[in-house]
Structure 1
Amino acid sequence: MSEAAWAILAENDRGGYTVPTAHLYPFQWNWDSAFVAIGFATYDIDRAYRELERLAEGQWDDGMIPHIIFHAPSDTYFPGPEVWGTRHRIPTSGITQPPVFGMALRQVHEAASAAGRPDAVERTRKLFQNALRSHRWWLRARDPEGTGLVSILHPWESGSDNSPAWDEALKRVPTSTKTTIRRKDTGHVDAAMRPRDEDYQRFIHLVDVYRECEWDPARQWEAAPFKIADVQMTGILARSTADLLILAQSLSSPEERGELERMHQVLTEGLARRWRQDLSRFVSRDLVSHRDVEAPTQACFIPLVALTLDDQQRRAIRSEIKRWLDGMVVGVPSTAPFSPAFEPKRYWRGPVWAVVNWLISDGLRMNGSEDLAREIEQGTVQAIERAGFCEYFDPTTGEGLGGGTFSWTAAAYLVLSQRS
């Protein structure tokens, strides 16, 4: 199966960057590429570096790494660069995605160092500066009040676009748009597996709002009708910051190391405050309604990658994850199967995603639950071996769903199959 995974990454290579899958996602996506770089690092270190270098080409002058970089034109995806109307030197979207970049950079660097590559330090040092600028942007633009939690202003930024976590907040967003919606995704994938038309209308309304702000972060923050202090995003940022700190020991100045240490402390303290003992999970916060986001989704477990929990928290979150796995052919479902919002085939409303399981299992290992981490990893590997390198999987049947020949699923297989 490793050879098949390599073949998918080769098939989706577009000249130093990897598309998630042909036609459905024909450009470079931010967190997809970071996971793919980690996959490449298991067998082609030069190509792993190149993936991150091509992603860094899209970084804005203010430090933001956009969620899509339109390196080459394609008419198989909506919304394209003409809808976003950004002014970057390379066409990009105007929003971001989970900052896995720092996590990926550490793993690529360690693979390069272990292989004795003479270019490792030079290539890593350049990308380290890209990552540091990105983290500075996150704290400046998405936590301007210094709460220790970074916010998303669009569901697409979370990576889990139509998650039930956003249902209440999206109800405030009008369905009217100034942009003609020409969905292309349902021409490639069954509509029953994709977000609904109403979701897309709200997604594009938000794009319209921020385009009118000329993509200025301060103006967007003030205008945003959707503003969630997100534990998944904050958890990934905190973990990436910890990984940058390890790289910084040999690559950066004492001032930068001190800056990263302060960032890490702020983020982990903010994240730790979002634990809800009565729910046995972490919860995000809606900054418009000032209410907790209690919907049980995979985001509730992602802080595991960044925090060392106490014994009571470990027992509680372990029991909660096992409750989600009960009766599933493959887990962890992206929405709890006991939730009224659970839909086992619809995108982020229930299906299992290999990269989410990768993150959750990493977090469980960090918190002393090796056996449960191994169970999730082995289940993920087996699901891929049965159904193929699909975008996501029905947790109740193991059926492969969404796009086929998916890059980050191939990358996840290369990493997780080495552990199980």
Structure 2
Amino acid sequence: MTERSTTMDASALAGLAGRHLDLVQAPFTLPRSRVLVFRADRDEWVERGGAEGAAPATALRVHTSEYERWLDECRVIDELVVRDASGRALLVTAVLPHAIEFGDGDATLTFAGAGAISVGGAGGLSVEWTTPDGERTRVELTADAPAARLHIGADRGVVHEASASHADDLAATEGRWLDWFAKCPIVRDELQQMAAFCWWVLGANIVELPALGDVRGVVPSKIGYVGVWQWDAYFIAVGLRHGDPALAREQLEIAFRFPSADGQLPDVVHEEGVLATSDDLPQADRDRLRRAGSQIADPGAPVPLTKPPLAAWALRKVLEVEDEPEWAREQLAVIRRSQDWWFAGSDLDGDGMPEYGHPYSSGLDDSPIFDGPLPTTAPDLGAYLVLQDLELAALAERYGADAAGEPRAHRERAARTLELLLGMWDEASGRFLARAAGEVVASDAVVGFMPLLTGRLPQKVAEALLAALGDPERYALPWAVPTVSAADPDFSAERMWRGPVWVNTNALIVEGLRASGHPELARELAERTVALVVHGGGPHEYFNPLTGRKARTATTAFGWSAALFIDLAVALSADD
């Protein structure tokens, strides 16, 4: 049996997480803050492909985190340096969740609340920073004012003041992080360090959404993904439930807060509103779709944008750790209407099986199943709809039909949808095939494994899917499960959704294997998935299936990868 500690204090967990805070893949930040601190040569470091041989940092760069704006657009300080009395720049020698240390602890940088940083040290030191417009400021630290506090405005401007309260700022920031790590789940010893880092990622990715009131959104990443995407909220809530079920519920509340009049849930809730139709797309997304040759870049009429229906699944998971009946009934009423919308508003050819009207609604935007014309009939959507109706039936029996609907009606619709889903099975190729505007799509993609989630596949079909998972020519690569078969002409080990491994699709296949009566295979894939995250150095957005390393363009410190690592690690540790 693998060793597992039963307790670990918050300080020790913070120290484990700190081993991954490199100021490149993991910035220095604070829960609820929009300020990010990186090493100033981060871009060069990334371009070289990693830390091997990298010189210690002497200069830091400060950015804000904003919706639909990338780091380079959000620069606040290009270079921040701490210098000794001779003018020599001090090296960064340690990064902890609450502080960046320079020299031999001669100076530290910490947060002074969510919107300011404080740099403090002994007299004789100085702090110097340069803004993107080339303005340089230098502040001498003295015995009376041993710190410089830099306030960062919404306009990315910097206002500084001398401060004598650096020690208080350090203590307050450390206290904030220790409170967070006190909630970190305890897992098997060899997984605990990564679990602590993943818990840091979830805390680091908390932002305030003032337009919604006193709301905490756990975003996919403060590096470019500042909003609450519906699908991400589900996966993130599933991980958060193990340490902070209240925050997990808050993510679902945000995702469910803005249904349309007909029940459709929006793709994204962000600080400027919601993304619910193609009319809401930011210009950068439209431009990207045009470059990709998408037929949906400029639709003639607004196309609804949502995410796959896993709401009831996520709700049930969150309620497993802390039951909240009245709250659950409120959410179920929204989920029920959303499920009805899929059949009333997204069955675009009228055959009883809803389709994806836009690639964004699938969560797998760049999958080759969307290379053809839209709408796309996809086996993953069919599987999610069956699962959601089955979940709604069970939740209706638990919390009452007034909110969730009659259990029998949900089960009958699930049976009809399952029959249509099985009609997508192609005996000759041994896989589920998507259809683009009615025409068969030949792509061999990970969406074909999602019907396992129903737990109701004929034995012959399930066995064919298990054989595909074990086939080294298709899906049993060194690091599995690739999102497109290695034997498919569209396979790419690096290109988003066209080959790289994603933690969320792996986790869903794990769920499907369990539901289909294959617990040992489920555990094996769960072990391989947590091993991938450890091997890859963190919960990246997606991984190269041949090397197990971060794919070149993948975002780091990614929310659902962190949350699902924790969920898998907790389950694996409980099984030991």
Residue of 533, 546, 550 corresponding to 1:400:
550
Please, which runs of 5 or more residues in structure 1 have no aligned partner?
86-92, 114-119, 170-225
Aligned counterpart, 2:520: 371
Residue of 249, 264, 267 corresponding to 1:67:
267
Aligned counterpart, 1:205: none
* Higher percent of residues as helix: 1
The SS at the match of 2:539 is coil
Structure 1 moving runs of 4+ over 6 Å: none
Aligned counterpart, 1:214: none
Question: Within 1, Cα distance between the matches of 2:397 and 2:383?
Answer: 22
- Counterpart check, 1:350 vs 2:499: yes
Residue of 459, 471, 491 corresponding to 1:311:
459
Q: 1:94/1:25 Cα in 2 relative to 1: closer, same or farther (>3 Å)?
A: farther
- Counterpart check, 1:149 vs 2:301: no
**Equivalent residue letter for 1:403:** T
* Higher percent of residues as strand: 2
- 1:271-298 Cα offsets, whole Å, 9 max, x none, are 12211122222112223xx322221000
Measured after TM superposition, the shift of residue 378 of structure 1 is 1.0
Aligned counterpart, 1:330: 479
**Equivalent residue letter for 1:99:** P
For the pair shown, the structure with the greater C-alpha radius of gyration is 2
The SS at the match of 2:492 is coil
Question: Within 1, Cα distance between the matches of 2:453 and 2:361?
Answer: 19
Question: Within 2, Cα distance between the matches of 1:155 and 1:80?
Answer: 15
Mapping 1:194-209, distance limit 5 Å: none
**Equivalent residue letter for 1:377:** A
- Counterpart check, 1:140 vs 2:292: no
Question: Within 2, Cα distance between the matches of 1:137 and 1:389?
Answer: 33
Question: Within 2, Cα distance between the matches of 1:394 and 1:82?
Answer: 29
Q: 1:406/1:80 Cα in 2 relative to 1: closer, same or farther (>3 Å)?
A: farther
Measured after TM superposition, the shift of residue 256 of structure 1 is 2.9
Native 8 Å contact 2:393 2:408 kept in 1: no
Measured after TM superposition, the shift of residue 329 of structure 1 is 2.1
Q: 1:415/1:278 Cα in 2 relative to 1: closer, same or farther (>3 Å)?
A: same
Residue of 228, 234, 237 corresponding to 1:34:
234
- Counterpart check, 1:391 vs 2:560: no
**Equivalent residue letter for 2:557:** T
- 1:45-82 Cα offsets, whole Å, 9 max, x none, are 111111100111122221111111123489xxx99766
Aligned counterpart, 2:377: 229
The SS at the match of 2:322 is helix
Measured after TM superposition, the shift of residue 165 of structure 1 is 1.3
Question: Within 2, Cα distance between the matches of 1:79 and 1:360?
Answer: 33
The SS at the match of 1:417 is helix
Native 8 Å contact 1:17 1:55 kept in 2: no
Q: 1:59/1:368 Cα in 2 relative to 1: closer, same or farther (>3 Å)?
A: same
Question: Within 1, Cα distance between the matches of 2:439 and 2:344?
Answer: 23
Aligned counterpart, 1:283: 433
Native 8 Å contact 1:28 1:71 kept in 2: no
Q: 1:257/1:164 Cα in 2 relative to 1: closer, same or farther (>3 Å)?
A: same
Aligned counterpart, 2:490: 341
Residue of 194, 201, 205 corresponding to 1:8:
201
Question: Within 2, Cα distance between the matches of 1:139 and 1:149?
Answer: 7
Native 8 Å contact 1:148 1:271 kept in 2: no
- Counterpart check, 1:50 vs 2:250: yes
Mapping 1:125-204, distance limit 5 Å: 125-143=329-347, 147-169=351-373
The SS at the match of 1:53 is helix
Q: 1:341/1:67 Cα in 2 relative to 1: closer, same or farther (>3 Å)?
A: same
| Worse-superposed segment, 19-28 or 260-269 | 260-269
Question: Within 2, Cα distance between the matches of 1:356 and 1:163?
Answer: 13
**Equivalent residue letter for 1:108:** V
Measured after TM superposition, the shift of residue 266 of structure 1 is 2.1
Native 8 Å contact 2:236 2:560 kept in 1: yes
Question: Within 1, Cα distance between the matches of 2:451 and 2:519?
Answer: 17
Q: Percent identity?
A: 28
Aligned counterpart, 1:210: none
Q: 1:143/1:80 Cα in 2 relative to 1: closer, same or farther (>3 Å)?
A: closer
Q: 1:73/1:145 Cα in 2 relative to 1: closer, same or farther (>3 Å)?
A: closer
Q: TM-score, normalized by length of structure 1?
A: 0.77
Q: 1:360/1:281 Cα in 2 relative to 1: closer, same or farther (>3 Å)?
A: same
Native 8 Å contact 1:268 1:307 kept in 2: no
| Worse-superposed segment, 246-255 or 229-238 | 246-255
Residue of 250, 260, 283 corresponding to 2:410:
260
Give the length in aligned residue pairs.
347
Q: 1:145/1:349 Cα in 2 relative to 1: closer, same or farther (>3 Å)?
A: closer
**Equivalent residue letter for 1:404:** T
**Equivalent residue letter for 2:562:** A
| Worse-superposed segment, 144-153 or 271-280 | 144-153
**Equivalent residue letter for 2:206:** D
Measured after TM superposition, the shift of residue 8 of structure 1 is 0.7
Native 8 Å contact 1:142 1:150 kept in 2: yes
Native 8 Å contact 2:431 2:448 kept in 1: yes
Question: Within 1, Cα distance between the matches of 2:397 and 2:349?
Answer: 29
The SS at the match of 1:299 is helix
- Counterpart check, 1:361 vs 2:510: yes
- Counterpart check, 1:302 vs 2:475: no
- Counterpart check, 1:417 vs 2:417: no
Question: Within 1, Cα distance between the matches of 2:497 and 2:282?
Answer: 27
- Counterpart check, 1:105 vs 2:315: yes
Q: What's the RMSD between the two structures over aligned residues? A: 2.4
Q: Which of the pair has the greater relative contact order for Cα pairs under 8 Å at 6+ separation?
A: 1
Q: 1:82/1:296 Cα in 2 relative to 1: closer, same or farther (>3 Å)?
A: closer
Q: 1:258/1:135 Cα in 2 relative to 1: closer, same or farther (>3 Å)?
A: same
Question: Within 2, Cα distance between the matches of 1:267 and 1:391?
Answer: 31
Measured after TM superposition, the shift of residue 144 of structure 1 is 5.7
Native 8 Å contact 1:18 1:33 kept in 2: yes
Q: 1:392/1:133 Cα in 2 relative to 1: closer, same or farther (>3 Å)?
A: same
Q: 1:252/1:147 Cα in 2 relative to 1: closer, same or farther (>3 Å)?
A: farther
Q: 1:69/1:94 Cα in 2 relative to 1: closer, same or farther (>3 Å)?
A: farther
Question: Within 1, Cα distance between the matches of 2:566 and 2:482?
Answer: 21
Q: 1:148/1:359 Cα in 2 relative to 1: closer, same or farther (>3 Å)?
A: farther
Question: Within 2, Cα distance between the matches of 1:79 and 1:141?
Answer: 17
Question: Within 1, Cα distance between the matches of 2:229 and 2:357?
Answer: 18
Question: Within 2, Cα distance between the matches of 1:127 and 1:398?
Answer: 38
Question: Within 2, Cα distance between the matches of 1:72 and 1:5?
Answer: 28
Measured after TM superposition, the shift of residue 381 of structure 1 is 0.2
